[in-house]
Structure formats: structure tokens, C-alpha cells
Amino acid sequence: MDSRTMRYVAAGVIFLASGQMLVPAQADEFDQADLDRWQQEYMSVVEQGEKLFHGGLGNRNTVSCDQCHPNGANTHPETYPKFQQQIGRVVVLGEMINWCIMNPLEGAALALDDSSMVALQAYIHQERRGRELAPGKH
């Protein structure tokens, strides 16, 4: 449970227990400390992704993502989901990451919710932040 849900529940409990007409704390309330913590959580996953992207995947042939995508360039996360003609259907970013893991890296595909997959995506998106969404763009 994240701290936002906790607060919501806590507010409800107080309300019920006291049996009085309290003005409930705003359900969605969070402060700067929360924001800082969430950002920190996110950035630590970005950092983990950066390491994986730069040789941390442990694939036997030692090839790494950054060799072809410095700073995550040419990964175009803002264009997903999109039709990949060679796969023959609309795919999500993670499927294309797996394609590169299995081919140039000669490694084993990751589950789409694997923490390494999440981290790789966090890094790729972070390097591409600010770009307008362009789903489907080739």
C-alpha cells in the first residue's frame, strides 16, 4: 500500500471511529516529502536501467545496448505501441527491447513485467523525456 492509500484509509477510520462529522482530510493529499520520495524511487530504477543498458544484462556475448543506442537514442519509446512490420503486428516497447536482447545481444528475453525490463524502460523513457507522444509513428 502506498502512502496515498494509507492516508485515505486512515482518514476513513478516524471519521467512523469518532462518529462525528469531521471534514475528511482530502483523499488525494500528498506533500513535497512524498513527491521527493516517489521521484527518488523512480530515479533509482532509472539508474538501475542505465546500468543494465550499459553492459549490466550479463549476456554472454558482452554486447550492450549503448553500443548502438548511446543515451538511449533511436529507441523512440514515444512511438509505442506501434506496428512493427517485421513482427507483423502492433507491439509494445518491451517486445522490441526483447527483440534487441535476443538478437544483437544473443540473450534470453525478459518477462514484460520483469524488474529489469521495467528498469530498461524507465531509463529509455527518461532519456527521451519531453518528447510528444506519437503512438504508431514509424
Partner 1 sequence: MSNYSRRNFLKTGGALLAASSLPISMVEMAFGKDSEQNFTFAYISDSHITQIKGNEFVRNWDRGLIRAVAEANLLDPRPDFVFYGGDIAQLGKPEEIDHGLEILGALRGDVHYVMGEHDYYVDLGEYWQKQLGPDHYSFNHKGVHFVVLNSILTHEEWMHRKWDSGMDRMKQMARLDNPDGQPFMVGDKQRSWLKADLDKVSKDTPVVVFSHSPLQKIYKGWNFWTDDAEQVQALLKPFDKVTVLYGHVHQIQTNQIGNISFHAAMATAWPWPYPSTYTQQTSYLPRLTVDMNRADPFFERDATGWQFINLHSGNVDVHYTLPDNEARVVAFDEKLGHPVDTKYQAVADRTSPQKHY
Sequential DSSP letters for 105-130: T--PPPPTT-HHHHHHHHHHHHHTTT
Q: Which stretch binds ligand HEC (CB under 6 A): 6-14, 15-23, 37-45, 101-109?
A: 101-109
Of 58-77, binders to partner 1 (CB under 8 A) are 60-63, 66-74, 76
- 4 contact, one of partner 1, ligand HEC, none, CB 5-8 Å limit per kind: none
Binding residue for ligand HEC (CB under 6 A) from 18, 20, 32, 74?
74
Which residues are paired to 89 by β-bridges? 84
Q: Which of 105, 133, 134 is nearest to 120 (CA)?
A: 105
Please choose which of partner 1, ligand HEC, none residue 62 contacts, taking the beta carbon within 5 to 8 angstroms, the exact cut-off set by kind: partner 1
Minimum distance from residue 132 beta carbon to partner 1 (Å) = 11
| Residues 34-73 within binding reach of ligand HEC (CB under 6 A) | 63, 65, 67-69
Cα angle, residue 59 at apex, residues 58 and 63 outer, rounded to 5°: 110
**What residue has cell string 534470453?**
108
- The correct pick among 104, 112, 118, 126 for binding ligand HEC (CB under 6 A) is 104
Phi/psi for 113 (5° steps) reads: -105, 15
